[in-house]
Structure 1
């Protein structure tokens, strides 16, 4: 038990230290450089009003907003035209049919880049809301580090049970497992994280790495594109953007399940050994403390309560940094089991060659 507790304490300390190397968006830079804000949309009717109001409040100038309707069957296009009427900064375009070998979002983003004229390309998802001075803040960071890409994991509202379990787990996985000093200050591809809802490129870095065309068949295009940036010799900086960026990723439990199902096994390199090792790790260190805690309460043996206190503390540190709900950390043991289940489900779907479904399209 002593070794077990010491390892958990080490996890807490390493996480706290790692987060010291995560830059925050605090300072701004006024610039005359043109920024292209690029948003792909497919059946995003519910998100259009909030998205457009958020974009209209952006203070940087010069800026252009290019929004691509990717074959929506709801009222997305009509709402885009309605909310952009009279604002010359906006350009609403129709996406072309999806070619063989491309993933839908990747193809949409590639088309957006071709229509852009900015010195910087700022890719956002339709479910993202940003602070008015977000561009000035990112410009400061990208110039400070002479980076090719600035990316970050937004704050995630979690409206349903499955989103509470899985969506904030993104922050935990990155801030615990990714050595941020190496990730942010070297071009080593193995140490790379990115979030596709928030990708800010210099044009030369984007074009120099081949852009979205270089990752046209990827279901994890954000990470793979960030790796391409590093491969071309530029750095990709992960920042803490949670004070300025909110992402309403999923509205239902079904959407959470489908979204993670298509990404988790791909994110692990389709490696079954990784699934097995991570399952053992998270069961042993992040679920097991719960039955130990219950045993300690039952028999008044308080040493068995220490492990869950440590994993709660580690999760609380990450939740505080990512502005997650105040009591979310209490769910960590259950979130770990949920993560294990989704890993195995994602792997089995791949092994059975059933394909992953998203927004009416199926990918292998």
Structure 2
């Protein structure tokens, strides 16, 4: 156990140092100065059964200060009033509404909707977004200014994930903690390497030319993690990209409750592990050993092992605090929930993997996608 605690202490020291350097290289959108531009941008919003949020989202887009914005709303087979609400804006200048009635084989609904929006776009730049996002008026003006200033081809923005209740906030903060050291999102801002990359589904701005060069959404038609994959493809094909936080400019409610979050992660948790049992087992046991066991060891051991386990716990809390402060608007005491949230997330991974295999696929927004079809598009 002593040797294990030594290994974990070294691991978390490296992870903390890596995150400290990496997170410092992610700028805040609020610090970006706007510069005049009149390039045409086509914003493509995919919407399915979003009657409770789409009107507020559209309104926030219509109020954008950017002067040459085309809004394309794609209603993806909604069974509620989403399509009717979207139609109310069809007469607005520079607003197009498209209704998808059927989903072709080998496509996920959202990916197909975004691709359909692209076929209608007339701008040289595209923005992919969801129908539950609320924008500040200068959001697009600032992000496009950043793209031009940095001479980049792609900008993605991490939003403020609004949440109700301490348990849900703790779960989101924990998810961002794990996502941070596992995916290292700050690699998007490293111009010396084509490895890594990042994509946040709430907001992805890129040139139409680059989008076409990486294969459009046809190249990721059946991927639940299309946003991350798009960002990674842009990066790996040598195009400059930028990740910024937009906690004051972009807001979304990720999930309304902790139960919804656990259920919602069914669709992409296993996808993030490339549908591999081996990776799933590694993720589950790795989480328990590296993030839960040190807390237990501290209470049941003594001597040097006890103090080393305490060091590991301190390092974990330091890293968790760092990511929570950078990527959320939550108060830092939320990190005290870490051991509980680690167990909840372990349960979430296990549940998602077992249900995906038991059901033979995933259900996302009312559509079932068989695992045999999802597996066809693994990362190369």
What's the TM-score, normalizing by structure 2? Answer: 0.85
Q: Quick one: structure 1 residues 100 and 189, their matched pair in 2 at CA, closer, same or farther if it must change by over 3 Å?
A: farther
Q: Contact 2:266 / 2:356 at 8 angstroms: preserved in 1?
A: no
1:216 corresponds, among 221, 229, 232, to 221
Q: How far apart, in 2, do the equivalents of 1:230 and 1:317 lie?
A: 25
Cross-structure match for 2:42 = 36
Q: Contact 1:67 / 1:93 at 8 angstroms: preserved in 2?
A: yes
The 3-state SS of whatever aligns with 2:155 is strand
The reply to whether residue 145 of structure 1 matches residue 145 of structure 2 is: no
For residues 239-290 of structure 1, the C-alpha deviation after alignment (integer angstroms, 9 at most, x for no partner) is: 2222321121222444322321110110121222322333233222322343
Q: Contact 1:151 / 1:200 at 8 angstroms: preserved in 2?
A: yes
Deviates more, 1:175-184 or 1:71-80: 175-184
Cross-structure match for 1:76 = 82
Computed over aligned residues only, the root mean square deviation of the Cα atoms, in angstroms, reads 2.7
Q: How far apart, in 2, do the equivalents of 1:152 and 1:170 lie?
A: 17
Q: Contact 1:168 / 1:324 at 8 angstroms: preserved in 2?
A: no
The reply to whether residue 319 of structure 1 matches residue 324 of structure 2 is: yes
Q: How far apart, in 1, do the equivalents of 2:289 and 2:178 lie?
A: 16
- Per the TM alignment, residue 194 of structure 1 is displaced from its structure 2 partner at its CA by 1.5
Q: Contact 2:90 / 2:96 at 8 angstroms: preserved in 1?
A: no
Cross-structure match for 2:374 = none
The reply to whether residue 340 of structure 1 matches residue 358 of structure 2 is: no
Q: Quick one: structure 1 residues 97 and 330, their matched pair in 2 at CA, closer, same or farther if it must change by over 3 Å?
A: same
Structure 1, unaligned stretches of length 5 or more?
none
Cross-structure match for 2:291 = 286
Number of aligned residue pairs: 360
Once the two structures are superposed, the pairs formed by residues 139-218 of structure 1 within 5 Å of their partners are 139-159=144-164, 163-179=168-184, 182-186=187-191, 191-218=196-223
Q: How far apart, in 2, do the equivalents of 1:131 and 1:145 lie?
A: 22
The reply to whether residue 19 of structure 1 matches residue 23 of structure 2 is: yes
Cross-structure match for 2:357 = 351
Cross-structure match for 1:100 = 105
Q: Quick one: structure 1 residues 283 and 228, their matched pair in 2 at CA, closer, same or farther if it must change by over 3 Å?
A: same
Q: How far apart, in 2, do the equivalents of 1:312 and 1:256 lie?
A: 23
Deviates more, 1:175-184 or 1:342-351: 175-184
Q: Contact 1:187 / 1:235 at 8 angstroms: preserved in 2?
A: no
Q: Quick one: structure 1 residues 103 and 143, their matched pair in 2 at CA, closer, same or farther if it must change by over 3 Å?
A: same
- Per the TM alignment, residue 183 of structure 1 is displaced from its structure 2 partner at its CA by 3.8
Q: Contact 2:51 / 2:82 at 8 angstroms: preserved in 1?
A: yes
For residues 167-198 of structure 1, the C-alpha deviation after alignment (integer angstroms, 9 at most, x for no partner) is: 33442234323445644335966523322221
For residues 3-61 of structure 1, the C-alpha deviation after alignment (integer angstroms, 9 at most, x for no partner) is: 34454344333321221222322222321101111111111011123212321221101
The reply to whether residue 130 of structure 1 matches residue 173 of structure 2 is: no
Structure 2, unaligned stretches of length 5 or more?
371-380
